[in-house]
Amino acid sequence: MRHIPKFRPIFRSIFQAFAAILMAALILGSGAGMSPANADPLDDFRNAGVIGERFDGYLEARDSAAGADARALIGEVNDKRRAVYTKRASEQGVSPDAVGRVYAQRIAADVPRGVWIKSESGGWAQK
């Protein structure tokens, strides 16, 4: 019978904890030190109520007076989301619309209070 030192599981747990912390740091990047000038424009527009989240996983301008910069951002983000939804749909054998609706639920759960969300019936409500 081979002898396994007792400290090996301890090192494995330490390594796993370190790996988790490293992964979290990589995902979050340097977000902790972000200044308002470097904030995400999408968050700025959503917090101001200019852009809202829809029931189908896409963004929409809440006001017809939304500027060109807000509309350009909506187009850019929606194009990226559409690509993700289409890829996931082909992997799972479902429609991109179904994937978008699942993502919309996750997005709605993750956005902060005060963000506007459009229901399928067309009404807007703040989270």
Overall pTM > 0.85: no
Look at residue 24 in the predicted model and tell me its pLDDT: 43
Residue 125 exposed, middle or buried by CB count within 10 Å (0-12, 13-18, 19+): exposed
12 Cβ neighbours under 8 A, 6+ residues apart: none
pLDDT tens digit sequence for 17-45 = 444 454 444 444 434 433 344 468 999 99
Q: What is the pLDDT of residues 60-71, one digit of tens each?
A: 999 887 899 999
Q: From residue 85, give the alpha-carbon distance in Å to each of 25, 57, 91, 110.
A: 27, 9, 10, 18
